[in-house]
Amino acid sequence: MQFPNFKSELECIAKGYSLVLGCDEAGRGPVAGPVVAAACVLNPATIGGKRSKSKWYYRVRDSKLTTEGEREILDGEIKNHALAWGVGEVSHKGIDKINIHNASLLAMRRAVENLLGEVKNKKAFLFVDGKFKIPGLEIGQVSVIDGDAKILSIAAASIIAKVHRDNIMKRLDGKFPGYGFARHKGYSTREHRQALAKLGISLVHRKTFVRI
């Protein structure tokens, strides 16, 4: 299993950046619910030396490689060792209106702006997961394919985003019973497709995604 490291962040800090952000999203693939992004600045004072089991970030990696229970634990550890973090969302309606690609970028922009709003007047640099930079930001940034497997701050952001979105889907499960949102989180599983065939599309389904 590949674990991300903190080398890219340290290089930016050495160049004079006081805040080095990682940003990632969760929820591109589901057919229901929002897309969520998170941005995170890890405290470099808590990261150093070789990765070992004694380090708080030992298991921080791409959220897709973690279990739900492990993510919830790591989410708390990350937030406890972050200088700042922010979350951004775009609803299912927004996804239908501007498509999932643009909605993902918008969610990431909101996450970064929410973070930076809490730490004004800081020289910041951003690492963003994927092929595309986030439009509309006035800070330096670079996009990194498979960044959540390479850069620790992106991996941390991926976990924050995933846990935040999972919690949204659990709440929606109570508002829209029968679809199983708490279990599949809106992805097109067999259970979900069967529920759609029986119940039809709910108010939180992405109409441009659903095929019954």
Q: Which of 174, 206, 210 is nearest to 90 (CA)?
A: 206
**SS3 at position 127:** strand
Structure tokens at 24: 């990632």
| pLDDT at residue 75 in the model | 98
Q: Where are the domains of the chain?
A: 7-199
Tell me the CATH number for domain 7-199. Answer: 3.30.420.10
Structure tokens at 113: 């702006």
Residue 95's pLDDT band, with cuts at 50, 70 and 90, is very high
Average pLDDT score over residue span 135-153: 96
Number of residues assigned to the chain: 212
At 131, the amino acid letter reads K
**SS3 at position 102:** helix
Torsion, CA 38, CA 126, CA 11, CA 1, rounded to 10: 40
* pLDDT digit string, tens, across residues 14-38: 999 999 999 999 999 999 999 999 9
In the block, residue with structure tokens 């089991």: 53
| pLDDT at residue 118 in the model | 77
CA distance 39 to 84: 8
CA distance 13 to 44: 9
| pLDDT at residue 84 in the model | 96
User: Are the C-beta atoms of residues 206 and 212 closer than 8 Å to each other?
Assistant: no
| pLDDT at residue 188 in the model | 95
Structure tokens at 82: 């972050």
| pLDDT at residue 212 in the model | 59
* pLDDT digit string, tens, across residues 35-72: 999 999 999 999 987 888 889 999 999 999 999 999 99
pTM above 0.85, yes or no: yes
